[in-house]
Structure 1
Amino acid sequence: MQPYGQYCPVARAAEILGDRWTVLIIRELLGDVTHFNELERGLPHISRTLLAERLRRLERGGVVERHAAPRGKHTEYRLTSAGRELQRTIDTLGEWGARWAFGDPRPNELDPIILLWWMRRRVRYEHIPRRRVVIQFDFGGPKRRYWLVIEPDEVSVCLKNPGYDIDLLVTAEITAFYRVWLGRSTLSEALRRQQVRLDGAPADTRALPRWFAWSPMAETVRAARTEMQDKNRR
């Protein structure tokens, strides 16, 4: 980004943060994503070249530190104190977006793989009942089946059947499951409307909502939804 040529804190901040993808890269880093490949998976429409350029720019701006790793290890990207302070900015953007810019999802935003990648990072291990839990997601036909394999030291997103017994089958409209994940609907509402169906042992179907922390923005989205409903009832 070219300098604005204005001696103003807003202009200086925008010179560091105003490029496309930069805010989403910071969102990922604030979620403790530290490796280049993991950042790329969380931002599937960014090119590797552009991601590398944005990280270099954030490093020059004092927002990110690059930690070179020993041979065989992944280089880590970590936020500096200035970068971690951007949590308030991201939260404020999310609150504003939830209130004023967050309608139903557009078709090109419904990526089941990125949804499962987000879910992978939000597993609540303390609620997982055994050493391995396998969840199959069916978002509409054999070519839209995916699996989460949850183990004590790793959660894998599988595009092919991993070959383990399935503990829980989630059959869902992808739009409905995105709405549940992001707090625009609840799982119980989606189940009642038959937009989501759970098949498995009764204990597992009841426990599914406790297995994930859901989206970090879900509470913000729910609050905005409740506020709008209250306004409409007046």
Structure 2
Amino acid sequence: MPVHLTAALYDAENAWGRDDDFFLHFVGAAPARVLDLGCGTGRLTLALAAAGHRVTGVDPEPGSLAAARARPGGDRVTWIPGTAADLPDSAYDVAVLTSHVAQEIRDDEAWADTLHHLRRALVDGGRLAFDSRDPAARRWERWNPADSRRRLALPDGAVVDAWTELTAVRDGLVSFLHHYLLPDGTEVHTPGTLRFRTEADLRAALAAAGFTVDRVLGGWAGELAGASDDGELIVLARAAQ
């Protein structure tokens, strides 16, 4: 799939939502050095910079970073192609991982390494927030053509029909296939696999990496875990001193 089409579909699938409002509020109004790890095409990254923060966006996909740089305000952000391993030491006051990017890190060892690098990159007492879908909510059961069908409007005015097909569920890993039917009749497929971790798993990994968990929420309105239809595990933690 062409890079520009990949970025356009990503943006259409991931418009500004309650999750972005939540993370923007979490970072707060006081100017801070903010890391957006797994920033994608920069939707939240640029909003954080516009709010007056010194922001660094990190992503391993060159096409996503190119799209982010090209957006209005892209020159306000420091963009780093790579992963948490490429972060400098003690450089950030706040770090966020949004849009369930934590679930893209499927291997437990890689997840542990990511958290250790985040702890290294944060100052003592620095704050961390990320979202991960709650496996108890079994959201993947809605990933079928009937429940997931949607229409996406692209910047050029084209409308794409999309739906998701669940392909496998095993050992905490959920695999799926996104289908995109383009206006010319071409059907494009994008596969993916996400790791679903329990609250206990997340807490244990954070503790091992040197974080203290402040709260784990279940919804974007601040509900407790398990008490919201959002089906989230929204983790708010702090780098231990």
**TM-score relative to the length of structure 1:** 0.28
Higher helix share: 1
Higher strand share: 2
